[in-house]
C-alpha cells in the first residue's frame, strides 16, 4: 500500500513538472499584431498633421443686402399736330363792308372766328395754318387782281384760337409790299406765333413736351421749280439740326379748284419726303385734295379753305382739319402712321360764309369724308366716317348715305375765273 502511494506521488509530480514547462514557452497572440498596426496608423496620422497646408483657407461670403436693379421705364412722348388750309383774316380790296370779314370782326370780336374749333386746337400740341394775306395799315397795294388785308390787331384771332404757327409761303404774302410783310411779321412776333417762308425757316418748340418742330414754307405758284432749292436746302438744314425733332414741308402749289394734284405736285411731294420731311402739307386750290402715304410719311395735297375772308360765299364750303400724332420713345421718333381727318365746313351756316369754320357730324360728315375718300382713292387711302384711316383689307359699310348731289357736284368743274368772280 505504501508502494501505491509512492507511485501516485511520483505521477502527480511528473504532471506538475510538464505543466510548468509548457507555461514558460513564448506564444504569438493576435493581440500583439493589432497593437503593432494601431501604432503604425497613429504615427502616419501624426506625420500628416504636422505637414503645412498649401491651400488658402475658405472665406464665407456674407449674403448681399442690395436689392436687384430693374431697367428704367422708357420715356414715351406723344405729339399731335393739327393743320388747316387757307386762313385769310381780312377783306379783298374790292369788298365793301356788309357781309365781310371786317364786319364780323366789328360785330363779334376776336374769339368768334375759331370758337367752334378752339377745343380741337387746345387739345393738340401744335396748330399750323396757311396764313394767306397780310396784317397792316399800309395802303401801298401791289397791283394785282386780288389783295387780302386785315388790321394788325386781327392777330388776336389766332391767339384766341390756339394757333401756334403760320406758313407764309404763298401768293398773298406781298399783297401790300415790303411794308405789309414787315407789319405782318411784327404782329405775329408780338404774340409769339412762329412763321416761315422761302429760306426763312419756322421753328416751334412745345413747352409741355419739349418737342421742337421745324418747317419750310414755299410758294410754287409764283416761284415754280425754284422752290426746290428752298425745300431741299431747308429740309436738309432742319434734319442736320440736332435740336429739331420733326420736319414739315408746307407747299403752296397747284391750280385753283383742281381736285387732284398734277404730276409735278406728285413728284415734288415725294421729293420732300426723300429729302427728309416727316410730313408734307399742301394748299392753294381752295378745295380739298387727296392724302397719300409715301415711304411711311403723309402727303396732304390740299387742305382747302378754312377761315377765308377772301370769299363771302364760295360754293365749296367743305373742308377738314388734318391731324397726325407722332410718338417718341426715349427721344427717338417712331416710324408709325397715326393720323385722322376732322370733317368741317368753313362756315357755321350754309347760305353764306360767316367765317367761322365748324366741325360737322351726321350726313354732313359723311358728305365731307366721301369727298376725301374720292380724292384719295388713287393713293389707296380711305377713311371711315369718324375720320380714321381704314386698313387696306377693310372697307366701308355698304349701306351708308351717299354723297348729296349739289349744284357743284353736277355742274362742270369751276374755273379759276369763276372762283375769282365769287370773291367779289
pLDDT tens digit sequence for 114-127: 999 999 999 999 99
Q: Is the pLDDT of residue 49 over 80?
A: no
1 confidence band (pLDDT: 50, 70, 90): very low
71 confidence band (pLDDT: 50, 70, 90): confident
* Nearest-angstrom CA–CA distance, 319 and 268: 23
pLDDT confidence of residue 47: 45
* Nearest-angstrom CA–CA distance, 387 and 384: 5
395 confidence band (pLDDT: 50, 70, 90): low
pLDDT tens for 74-83 read: 999 999 999 9
- DSSP for 61-102 reads PPPP-SPPP-PPPPPEEEEEEEEEEEEE-SEETT--STTSHH
Half-sphere exposure of residue 172: CA atoms within 13 angstroms, side-chain side: 28
Give mean pLDDT, residues 152-168.
98
pLDDT confidence of residue 63: 65
Give the phi and the psi of residue 408 in degrees, each rounded to 5. -70, -40
Residue 249 DSSP SS3: strand
Residue 399 DSSP SS3: coil
19 confidence band (pLDDT: 50, 70, 90): very low
What is the total residue count of the chain? 424
- Domain layout of the chain by residue ranges: 76-412
Q: How would you classify residue 170: left for phi > 0, otherwise alpha for psi between -120 and 50, otherwise beta?
A: beta
Give mean pLDDT, residues 260-278.
98
CB within 8 A of 356, min separation 6: which ones? 112, 113, 114, 115, 116, 307, 347, 348
Alpha helix ranges (H) inside 166-256: 177-190, 220-223, 227-240
Q: Please name the residue that has the C-alpha cell 355698304.
A: 398
Three cell numbers, residue 420: 375769282
pLDDT confidence of residue 36: 35
DSSP at 179: H
Give the residue, 225 or 401, on which the prediction is more confident: 225
CB 386 within 8 A of CB 377: no
What's the whole-number average pLDDT of the chain? 85
Cα 213 to Cα 127, 138, 197, 320, distances in angstroms: 11, 32, 15, 22
Residue 158: Cβ within 10 Å count: 27
Give mean pLDDT, residues 58-82.
81
Q: Please name the residue that has the C-alpha cell 349744284.
A: 407
* 404 burial via Cβ count (<10 Å: 0-12, 13-18, 19+): exposed
Q: For the whole model, what pTM was predicted?
A: 0.79
Give mean pLDDT, residues 204-215.
98
Three cell numbers, residue 96: 365793301
For β-strands 297-300 and 279-283, DSSP reports them as parallel
Give mean pLDDT, residues 235-254.
98
Q: Is the pLDDT of residue 12 over 80?
A: no
Q: Which CATH code is given to the segment(s) 76-412?
A: 3.60.21
- DSSP for 104-156 reads HHHHH-TTSTTTTTHHHHHHSSEEEEEE-SEE-------SSS--EEE-GGGGH
- DSSP for 262-323 reads -HHHHHHHHHHHHHT-SEEEEE-SSSB--EEEETTEEEE--B-EEEETT-SS-S--EEEEEE
pLDDT confidence of residue 289: 98
Amino acid at each position: 500500500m505504501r508502494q501505491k502511494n509512492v507511485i501516485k506521488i511520483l505521477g502527480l509530480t511528473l504532471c506538475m513538472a510538464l505543466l510548468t514547462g509548457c507555461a514558460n514557452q513564448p506564444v504569438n497572440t493576435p493581440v500583439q499584431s493589432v497593437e503593432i498596426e494601431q501604432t503604425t496608423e497613429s504615427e502616419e496620422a501624426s506625420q500628416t498633421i504636422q505637414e503645412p497646408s498649401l491651400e488658402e483657407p475658405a472665406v464665407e461670403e456674407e449674403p448681399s443686402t442690395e436689392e436687384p436693379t430693374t431697367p428704367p421705364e422708357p420715356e414715351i412722348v406723344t405729339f399731335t399736330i393739327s393743320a388747316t388750309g387757307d386762313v385769310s383774316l381780312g377783306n379783298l380790296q374790292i369788298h365793301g363792308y356788309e357781309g365781310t370779314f371786317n364786319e364780323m370782326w366789328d360785330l363779334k370780336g376776336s374769339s368768334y372766328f375759331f370758337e367752334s374749333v378752339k377745343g380741337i386746337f387746345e387739345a393738340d400740341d401744335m396748330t399750323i395754318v396757311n396764313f394767306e394775306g397780310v396784317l397792316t395799315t399800309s395802303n401801298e397795294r401791289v397791283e394785282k387782281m386780288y389783295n387780302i388785308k386785315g388790321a394788325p390787331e386781327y392777330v388776336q384771332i389766332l391767339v384766341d384760337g390756339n394757333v401756334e404757327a403760320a406758313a407764309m409761303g404763298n401768293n398773298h404774302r406781298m399783297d401790300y409790299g415790303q411794308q405789309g410783310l414787315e407789319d405782318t411779321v411784327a404782329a405775329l412776333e408780338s404774340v409769339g406765333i412762329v412763321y416761315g417762308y422761302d429760306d426763312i425757316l419756322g421753328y416751334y418748340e412745345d413747352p409741355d413736351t419739349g418737342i421742337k418742330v421745324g418747317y419750310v414754307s414755299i410758294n410754287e405758284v409764283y416761284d415754280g421749280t425754284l422752290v426746290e432749292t428752298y425745300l431741299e436746302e431747308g429740309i436738309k438744314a432742319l434734319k442736320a439740326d440736332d435740336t429739331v425733332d420733326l420736319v414739315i414741308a408746307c407747299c403752296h402749289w397747284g391750280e385753283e379748284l383742281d381736285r387732284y394734284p398734277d404730276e409735278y405736285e406728285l413728284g415734288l411731294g415725294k421729293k420732300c419726303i426723300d429729302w427728309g420731311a416727316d410730313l408734307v402739307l399742301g394748299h392753294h386750290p381752295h378745295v380739298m385734295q387727296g392724302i397719300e402715304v409715301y415711304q411711311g410719311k403723309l402727303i396732304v395735297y390740299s387742305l382747302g379753305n378754312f377761315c377765308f375772308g377772301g370769299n363771302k360765299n364760295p360754293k365749296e364750303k367743305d373742308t377738314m382739319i388734318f391731324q397726325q400724332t407722332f410718338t417718341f420713345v426715349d427721344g427717338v421718333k417712331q416710324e408709325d402712321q397715326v393720323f385722322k381727318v376732322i370733317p368741317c365746313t368753313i362756315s357755321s351756316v350754309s347760305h353764306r360764309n360767316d367765317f367761322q369754320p365748324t366741325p360737322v357730324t351726321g350726313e354732313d360728315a359723311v358728305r365731307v369724308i366721301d369727298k376725301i375718300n374720292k380724292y384719295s382713292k388713287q393713293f389707296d387711302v380711305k377713311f371711315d366716317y369718324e375720320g380714321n384711316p381704314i386698313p387696306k383689307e377693310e372697307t366701308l359699310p355698304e349701306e351708308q348715305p351717299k354723297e348729296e348731289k349739289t349744284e357743284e357736284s353736277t355742274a362742270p368743274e369751276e374755273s379759276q375765273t369763276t372762283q375769282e368772280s365769287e370773291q367779289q
